[in-house]
Amino acid sequence: MLLSHSIRLCSSLRPLRPFSHPRFFSVFGPRYTVDMGTVDTTERLTRLRQLMRDNKVDVYIVPSEDSHQSEYIAPCDGRREFISGFSGSAGTAIISLSKAALSTDGRYFNQAAKQLDSNWQLLKRGIENVPTWQEWTTEQAEGGKAVGVDPSLITASGARKLAETLEKNGSSLVGVEQNLVDLIWAKDRPARPNEKVRVHPKKYAGKSFQEKVAELRKDLESKKKAGFVISMLDEIAWLFNLRGSDIPYNPVFFSYAVVTPTTVELYVDDDKLTPEVKAHLGQDVVIKPYDSIYADAKALSAARSQSSSADGQEKFLLSNKGSWALSLSLGGEDQVEETRSPIADAKAIKNDTELEGMRACHIRDGAALTEYFAWLENELINKKTVLDEVDAADKLEQIRSKHDLFAGLSFDTISSTGPNGAVIHYKPEKGSCSIIDPKAIYLCDSGCQYFDGTTDTTRTFHFGEPTAFEKRAFTLVLKGCIGIDTAVFPKGTSGFAIDVLARQHLWKEGLDFLHGTGHGIGSYLNVHEGPMGIGTRVQYTEVPLAAGNVISDEPGYYEDGKFGIRIENVVVAREVNPPHKFGDKQWLGFEHVTMTPIGRNLIEPSLLSDEEIKWVNDYHAEIREKTQHFFQADELTRKWLERETQPISK
């Protein structure tokens, strides 16, 4: 059935049973690994195309996101992976009655090429002369064809832009009320999680939820808005000082919220709320069923239409990541103003309590990583132990779990040896992963959730003798990491503007990397958060970096089929005082909080300036000072730390 003027809640939003996995389970749910093999999608596509014909749809779009535009999703929302076989976190599948295409970015080119079967065409996003998924869709729809999409899975602005493009060649975009992939996935589809919600205490949050709501209301009042309809899960968790377990590694829970000048409503299934959570929310928040948001949005729209003045002010505010379905339920453009979420902006600037938590958890996490790398080298070199990539990742999680305030991982550990390191978001699977080769580069990108913060660190090591080119590439990446770390820039500068500092040394030798340089990081929240970042994406020009932002600094270099190199530290933007202040501006710089050594034997000191060598030596001395007390009874790790933090020189 096609959606016309009204939208009812699609079946994918109903509450279902919790999903579990036999191998791992933390407070964030199960740990998922990925099979890099190809999936035969022929039957699935045949069934989907029949449903497309039944619904009079010529082209069908399957986004990666869920109805909250989450980057990382619950397994039950993995529709794009189901239909395409590609398991990366980013990408869009488009299916016509005769063709199918998958568009993804540079992080996943290698992985997608391995996982897509012959039914699919890979659209490499950002590569010259390769069409975007919107362009490919428009081409397939030529001749007045209908393009269908689940309106809860695409943003209102995205739907509007696509519809305008399609209309130019006589085609149209229609919202399909029932998700077509759900219909063919019904038998084996994982159940929707329904985990309990937890209170995030003020001692970690730094501010009560009542204070946050009051600040949001002031913002709405200044903008003369009737209210804010909140759909992003991490924004709701942050606003109410609550955390959940509905999406692996992301401490969020399925919910919506509406804040008006007089009311605060939280749309969440009541059986998820413990007595502690209800006491925490008290009388300030009205609890409503999760699946009643669309009906209530229509009621809000109707009430506003009857009471609003003729000048049309006091629209509802909706994040520019809000769904097309939600926007239509609120009355569409006449009643809704789409904007960058004020909660996203507030959440991105960490308060003093959150910043102290970030510093503290990175010291503990750095100690865990140091213990892990010392253990791994000893097992591989001294004990000659045969370890695969999953064995190593499991050991790292076990070491981390010993530390205070541990709450789980923040994403799947990327434990990769040799050629697997060139797969930027590689996720090893037991039984198909590789044995770690001590004579090859080993790349480990991992992170953890602690009650006082979130970590994300990448280190690249060689436990044997690296080649001259491996050392050269590693050192060029290190120079880029230092370039970001030591940058000083005026207030108002964006991450887009400073991205070149991470790439300049690679560029001089005709090298580069196909991912962003830095992303925002939540405080005991999602490991990826906006709105700011460091990279070449256009959106990074829109939001300047600000004091209190917590961002990754992670340049890299990858040789397909050979190795991958990435160095990732987490940095905090803060005010600095340079000798001069041109224009009487505030100036910003970075403070690194990641505390584990950089692969010393991969550094080629002759490529570093005196200032860069001093940075490396000072950084390693800081790591040793802040983490050595963890290893008083651990001689193996203590000696490894001492060796890896010895000064380097030309």
Q: What is the layout of strands, in order, in the sheet containing 100-104?
A: 2-3, 172-176, 146-149, 59-63, 92-96, 100-104, 121-124
* In the predicted structure, residue 482 carries a pLDDT above the cut 60: yes
Domain 2-185 superfamily per CATH? Creatinase/prolidase N-terminal domain (3.40.350.10)
**Which one-letter DSSP state was computed for residue 191?**
P
Residue 3's pLDDT band (boundaries 50, 70, 90)? Answer: very low
Which of 214-223, 354-363, 423-432 is predicted with the least confidence, judged by mean pLDDT?
Answer: 423-432
Distance CA 411, CA 186 (A): 27
Residue 308's pLDDT band (boundaries 50, 70, 90)? Answer: low
Strand pairing partners for 129? none
Q: What are the φ/ψ torsions at residue 606 (nearest 5 degrees)?
A: -65, -20
Q: How much is the pLDDT for 16?
A: 29
Q: Are strands 518-520 and 529-534 parallel, antiparallel or unpaired?
A: antiparallel
Q: How much is the pLDDT for 12?
A: 32
State pLDDT tens for residues 185-195.
Answer: 988 899 999 99
Q: How much is the pLDDT for 36?
A: 61
Determine the 3-state secondary structure of 62 from DSSP. Answer: strand
Q: Which residue has the higher pLDDT, 4 or 505?
A: 505
Q: What percent of the chain has pLDDT over 70?
A: 93
Q: How much is the pLDDT for 438?
A: 97
CA distances from 561 to 106, 188, 392, 462, 518 (A): 16, 34, 21, 17, 25
State pLDDT tens for residues 587-618.
Answer: 999 999 999 999 999 999 999 999 999 999 99
Dihedral, CA of residue 594, residue 632, residue 645 and residue 550, to nearest 10: 10
352-644 belongs to which CATH class?
Answer: alpha beta
Q: How much is the pLDDT for 9?
A: 33
Determine the 3-state secondary structure of 121 from DSSP. Answer: strand
* In the predicted structure, residue 509 carries a pLDDT above the cut 60: yes
* In the predicted structure, residue 264 carries a pLDDT above the cut 80: yes
Mean pLDDT of all residues in the chain? 92
Distance CA 637, CA 639 (A): 5
What would the mean pLDDT of 578-582 be, rounded to a whole number?
Answer: 91
* In the predicted structure, residue 146 carries a pLDDT above the cut 50: yes
Contact 43, 61 (CB under 8 A): no
* In the predicted structure, residue 46 carries a pLDDT above the cut 70: yes
> Nearest 5 degrees, angle CA 38-CA 39-CA 41?
135
Q: What percent of the chain has pLDDT over 90?
A: 86
* In the predicted structure, residue 29 carries a pLDDT above the cut 50: no
* In the predicted structure, residue 5 carries a pLDDT above the cut 60: no
At the topology level, CATH places domain 198-348 in Creatine Amidinohydrolase; Chain A, domain 1 (3.40.350)
pTM of this structure: 0.91
Q: Whose structure tokens read 């497309």?
A: 52
Q: Whose structure tokens read 């996101």?
A: 65
Q: How much is the pLDDT for 650?
A: 87
Distance CA 460, CA 393 (A): 14
* In the predicted structure, residue 7 carries a pLDDT above the cut 80: no
Contact 5, 281 (CB under 8 A): no
Domain with CATH 3.40.350.10 in the chain: 2-185, 198-348
Q: How much is the pLDDT for 1?
A: 40
Name the strand (E) or helix (H) holding 556: strand 556-559
Q: Whose structure tokens read 């994982």?
A: 190
Q: Which residue has the higher pLDDT, 238 or 177?
A: 238
Distance CA 117, CA 107 (A): 19
Residues 6+ apart with CB under 8 A from 87: 34, 35, 78, 81, 111, 115, 427
Q: How much is the pLDDT for 28?
A: 33
What would the mean pLDDT of 267-282 be, rounded to a whole number?
Answer: 97
* In the predicted structure, residue 117 carries a pLDDT above the cut 70: yes
State pLDDT tens for residues 170-213.
Answer: 999 999 989 999 999 988 899 999 999 999 999 999 999 999 99
State pLDDT tens for residues 456-475.
Answer: 999 999 999 999 999 999 99
Residue 243's pLDDT band (boundaries 50, 70, 90)? Answer: very high
State pLDDT tens for residues 534-579.
Answer: 999 888 999 999 999 999 999 999 999 999 999 999 999 999 999 9
Contact 514, 434 (CB under 8 A): no
Residues 6+ apart with CB under 8 A from 621: 645, 647
